[in-house]
Amino acid sequence: MAKIAVLPGDGVGPEVVREAVKVLTTAGARFGIALEFEEGIVGGAAIDRAGTPLPPETLSLCRASDAILFGAVGGPMWDGLPVNRRPERGVLLLRKELGLYANLRPIRLFASLVDASPLKREIIEGVDLMMLRELTGGLYFGEPKGIIPAPDGKGEQGVDTLIYTTHEIERIARVGFQIATQRRKRLTSVDKVNVLASSELWRRVVTETATEFPDIELDHMLVDNCSMQLIRDPRRFDVVLTENTFGDILSDEAAMLAGSIGMLPSASLGDGPGLYEPIHGSAPDIAGQDTVNPLATILSAAMLLRHSLHQEAAAAAIEAAVSRVLEAGYRTPDIRQPGRTVLVGTAQMGDLVIESIRKG
């Protein structure tokens, strides 16, 4: 029996997670995988009910589970709080506490969505890259951090610290090279070596680690150039390895290659249970309207089966079902296209995927 912690969170989180649980249940039944789900509170919902974005019970539930299915956190109600007490802290603490240092964000364009992207078909057709983001270091967690009086006595200063150690760089680089081994054997390491000391170390350690993987072709790219190349020539990329903040920004940009941020799943892996979440946020403006695209979370559930439960056939079946539903023309508003497509809501999209898994 595999135990899955379910953390819906805020905004559209509960809606998309509900669909992903439905899909997991269906895939579990079809492939004979016994799954047990237990819900926990996180983010703004947890601030309201327990006074903290990551209550200890939620953390222990996650530690006692085989995998975590996560929705989204945040919303305007909590915007006034200082950064260290905001809903987002919930997911950041989970990543840190569980040591989820490797964040896999596959960017794959489903053939039937090629016209849903604002980018030209001849540029994006066939895009298939893996964004690998370091997730527990860098600016997000470096100390000192905070707002303190300015040394000149005039006002305050906001401080964030960008730190990377050899160990942190080495372990994420190894994950990157291993992933590349199973793909097209190319890895692009992204940094800002012309300005940042942390990047100087990053580039050196990645280059050294590459000697363990002689069949992988490594190149280095500055982050500003990478943001341009992702739009100019996205098919040149196979695995893109980068630090926390750069990866956050580049993955939203890369989402446009897949048609919509509502299509992009993620897996956050470390030594314990993995965490699976859509890369989009809580989208409070469309919450509760049954319009959000659940496919990013459904595809995250497929990653959960693949990476945490080692159920490749079930994972592939979910992905194939999503592909068939899109080919049949069903679209949520974010991927709506002119022509022969049928607009559906969140729950209906989930039902269509389930039906397709059962038939497939």
Residue 10 in contact with ligand IPM, rule: CB under 6 A: no
Q: Consult the annotation and say whether 311 binds a ligand.
A: no
- Give the nearest residue (CB) to ligand IPM: 88
- Window contacting ligand IPM (CB under 6 A); options: 38-46, 59-67, 85-93, 224-232: 85-93
Residue 248 in contact with ligand IPM, rule: CB under 6 A: yes
Element (H, E) at 5: strand 2-9
Q: Could you tell me the CA-to-CA distances from 261 to 101, 257, 258, 269, 347 in Å, in that order?
A: 22, 9, 7, 21, 18
13-34 in b/e form (b: 16+ CB < 10 A) is: bbbbbbbbbbbbebbbebeebe
- Smaller CB separation from Mg ion, 202 or 246: 246
Secondary structure of residue 91 in the 3-state scheme: helix
**Of positions 41, 279, 296, 354, contacts ligand IPM by CB under 6 A:** 279
Q: Are 50 and 20 in contact (CB under 8 A)?
A: no
Nearest distance, CB of residue 116 and ligand IPM, angstroms: 21
Residue tagged active-site, from 10, 191, 238, 248: 248
- Window contacting ligand IPM (CB under 6 A); options: 9-17, 88-96, 156-164, 208-216: 88-96
Q: Consult the annotation and say whether 267 binds a ligand.
A: no
Catalytic (active site) residue 140: yes
Phi-psi region of 51 (alpha: psi -120 to 50; beta: other; left: phi over 0): left
88 binds, among ligand IPM, Mg ion, none (CB under 5 to 8 A by kind): ligand IPM
Residue tagged active-site, from 79, 219, 224, 233: 224
**Of positions 88, 134, 243, 334, contacts ligand IPM by CB under 6 A:** 88
- Closest C-alpha to 54, from 4, 5, 2: 5
Q: Consult the annotation and say whether 254 binds a ligand.
A: no
Residue with tokens 């305007």: 76
Catalytic (active site) residue 224: yes
CA–CA dist 9, 67 (Å, integer): 16
For the chain, what's the residue count?
Answer: 360
CA–CA dist 261, 280 (Å, integer): 6
Residue tagged active-site, from 101, 140, 276, 330: 140
Catalytic (active site) residue 101: no
CA atoms within 13 A on the CB side of 281: 11
Catalytic (active site) residue 233: no
250 binds, among ligand IPM, Mg ion, none (CB under 5 to 8 A by kind): none
Catalytic (active site) residue 252: yes
Q: Consult the annotation and say whether 133 binds a ligand.
A: yes
Residue with tokens 């047990």: 36
Binding site residue list: 95, 105, 133, 224, 248, 252, 281-293
The binding site for substrate comprises: 95, 105, 133, 224
Question: Residue positions in the annotated binding site for Mg(2+)?
Answer: 224, 248, 252
| Residues of the shown chain interacting with ligand IPM in the complex, contacts defined by CB under 6 A | 88, 91-92, 248, 279, 281
Could you list the active site residues? 140, 192, 224, 248, 252
